[in-house]
Amino acid sequence: MIYLDYSATTPMSSYALETYNRVATDFFANSRSLHGRGLESDDVLSLSRRTIADALSVDQSEVYFTGSGSEATFLTLTGLAFANQHKGKTIITTAGEHHSVQQTMSYLKEHDFRIIHVPVNEFGQVTTDSLRSVLSKDTILVSIAHANSEIGTVQDLVSLGEVLTKHDILFHSDCVQTFGKIAIPTHVLTSASFSAHKCYGPKGVGAAYINSHTHWRPFLQGTTHENGFRAGTVDVPAIAAFAAAIDEYLPMVATDMNRLSDFRQLVIDAFEKEERIYFEGHPTKRLPFHISLRVKGIEGQLVMLECNRKGLAISTGSACRVGDTHPSNTMTSIGRTKEEAHELIRITFGRWTTEEEVYKLIDHLKQLLIELKGE
């Protein structure tokens, strides 16, 4: 099976696995325990926190570990919203955010917050003009993902952040798809959320960044773990593996992104004259390893299943939406019909993708177009 679904999850690197095993064996103690073993475990936790913080160019006191990227998003957004609700009750986001953001917004709406969706252009981008058009004196928080997981478009967080800074509005970004792959401008962000399993680390570990000058409120009162940000014993081995994965990949990421971008271009060039294929998302301001496309008249589910039959693992969109029969909010927000939204497939490359596999993908897709012709 050729794996081409790296935006859903990545395999753990050997280095991350080795780190997990070693820490789980030698530093298994609770990092909150005051005996020697506990202090050793806490040292590993501190070193891991420093590694993640350095990768983000932030202070280690601004990094909080969680059980997932989704949990990091929920705890961050609720913590900021409830702590600042005396200033206003309006929160701005986009219709195409990850399900974790949408769920959090639904929760906040139930607690009397007003949720506004800023319009996006045909590529899924939020422009500074569209952002300004929805701001009000009651706006306290904006959450816009750095990159859309379904269509791959990368937002200009710097320009958007500059607008929000002038209005003293908090700015959160879901950076799960970009951390460890492209630079994240944390200097314009109030907060951000990340996940280990998207960058060759283990599942079940995430992290949040919150600027130290920003007031937030713990979701669960009274907990002492992660400075009150999250309850539950900290998974030090998994966190160490997360840090190891980032530490290993960052020195090679620029070269790898160029390589994967070349692979993406191979696919685009192979189908540029194919009238039935439409590529979605911004053509250049996007994740370099990400391809989002539609085969006109053919449901993405069918294309995915046929690819699976041929030994190719691809996706029909965000893995968190599997089983959801509703059309993608991302696709409808950029003007696609319900039928067009259901045509979407996602192909994402990663560290172990080879050129040979890309050519096999192209050959299989071409054969698939012949087989599905006229259906």
Active site residues: 320
Q: Give CA angle at 268 (263, 270), nearest 5°.
A: 95
Q: For residues 124 and 67, what is the distance between their CA atoms, to the nearest angstrom? A: 29
Question: What does the block give as tokens for 110?
Answer: 């139930």
**Do the strands 191-195 and 206-210 form a parallel or antiparallel pair, or are they unpaired?**
antiparallel
Q: Give CA angle at 175 (68, 188), nearest 5°.
A: 130
Helices 14-26/236-270 angle, 10° precision: 170
Q: For residues 17 and 13, what is the distance between their CA atoms, to the nearest angstrom? A: 6
Residue for token digits 């399993």?
197
Please count the other Cβ atoms lying within 10 Å of the Cβ belonging to residue 356.
Answer: 9
Alpha-carbon Rg for the chain, nearest whole angstrom, is: 21
Please count the other Cβ atoms lying within 10 Å of the Cβ belonging to residue 203.
Answer: 15
Q: Measuring CA to CA, which residue among 247, 13, 283 is closest to residue 151?
A: 283
Give buried/exposed letters for 142-168 (b at 16+ CB in 10 A, else e).
Answer: bbbbbbbbbbbbbbbbeebbebbeeee
Sheet architecture: strand order including 290-295: 277-279, 290-295, 344-348
Residue for token digits 């705890």?
75
Give the DSSP H/E element, type plus range, for residue 141.
strand 139-143
